[in-house]
Amino acid sequence: MCASAPRPSGASAVRSLYSSHPTWMHALPAWVKLAVLSVCGTLLVLVERPVHLSIACIVVLLLFASLGRTAWLRMRMLVGIAIGCALIVGFHWFLGTTWLGVASALRLASAAVLALMLTLTTRFEDLLAVLETVMRPLQRFGVPTERIALGIGLMLRFAENFYVQWQRLDDAYRARAGHGGGLRLLAPLTIRTLQTAERVADALAARLGR
C-alpha cells in the first residue's frame, strides 16, 4: 500500500495476486477478460440447477488448470475457496436443503475461480484503464469519472492492505504472546487502517490538490 510503512521484502510477492509468470491468459486484453467475467458472473446467478452449475464449475477449473505453473503456485487459494464451499454445504445439509447448498457452493466456487484467474493474469492498471474508458461518456453529465476509477482502484488496494495489516499485527502479537491475537487485534487494526487512510488522504491531496 502506497502510504504504509515499507513492506518487508518477500511479503509483496504473497500479497500482490498478479502473477508475472506469463500464460496464454495474460495475452488477452483486460477488457475482454473483464467482459467475460461480468457475463459469466451474471449467468451464474441466473443458473439454478446443480447439474448445470457443476458443468460450469468443471469448465472453470479446467481453464484454471490450463494456466499451468501459475495455477499450481496458487493452489492454496483454491483450498480456501473449497473450505468456504464445504461450510455452505454443511449448513444447508443441517437445514435439510442440501441441494440449495450444493448449488450455492458450486456457484461460489465457479465465480471465485473466475475472478481469481482475472486477478492472476491482469495487471491492476490495465483493469483500471478499462473502467475509465467504460465510464468516460458519463463525464458529459458532470460525473468526475476519473475520481470514480481512482476510488475503485484505491478500494481494491485498501482491501489488500487490510490483510497485510492484520498479518503484521498478528505476527507481532505472536512474537510477544506465542499465539495469534484473534479478535483482540480488531481495535488496533481499525485504528491502523484509519491512520493509513489518513496518510493516503494527505498524499492524494498533495498530488491532486483539493
Contact residues for another protein (CB under 8 A)?
34, 37-38, 41-42, 45-46, 83-84, 87-88, 91-92, 95, 97, 100-101, 104, 107-108, 111-112, 114-115, 131, 134, 144, 147-148, 150-152, 154-159, 161-163, 186-188, 190-191, 193-198, 200-202, 204-205, 207-210
**29 to 3, 52, 128: CA distances (angstroms):** 30, 28, 13
Among 164, 153, 200, residue whose Cα is nearest residue 11 = 164
Residue 29: CB minimum distance to another protein, A: 16
Q: Could you give the C-alpha distances from 143 to 61, 146, 147, 207, in angstroms and in order? A: 39, 9, 9, 21
Please answer whether residues 186 and 166 qualify as being in contact, where contact means their C-beta atoms are separated by less than 8 angstroms. Answer: no
21 vs 147, which CB is nearer to another protein? Answer: 147
Neighbours of 14 (CB within 10 A): 11
State the minimum distance, in angstroms, from the CB of residue 137 to another protein. Answer: 15
CA-based torsion, 169, 174, 180, 183: positive or negative: negative
Q: Minimum Å distance from CB 46 to another protein? A: 6
Q: Which is nearer to another protein, 22 or 35 (CB)?
A: 35
Nearer to another protein, 75 or 194 (CB): 194
| C-beta closer to another protein: residue 46 or 175 | 46
User: What is the closest distance, in whole angstroms, from the C-beta atom of residue 9 to another protein in the complex?
Assistant: 24
Overall size of the chain counted in residues? 210
Nearer to another protein (CB atom), residue 67 or residue 88: 88
Query: Under 8 Å CB-to-CB from 188, ≥6 apart: which residues?
Result: 169
Q: How far is the CB of 83 from another protein (least distance, A)?
A: 8
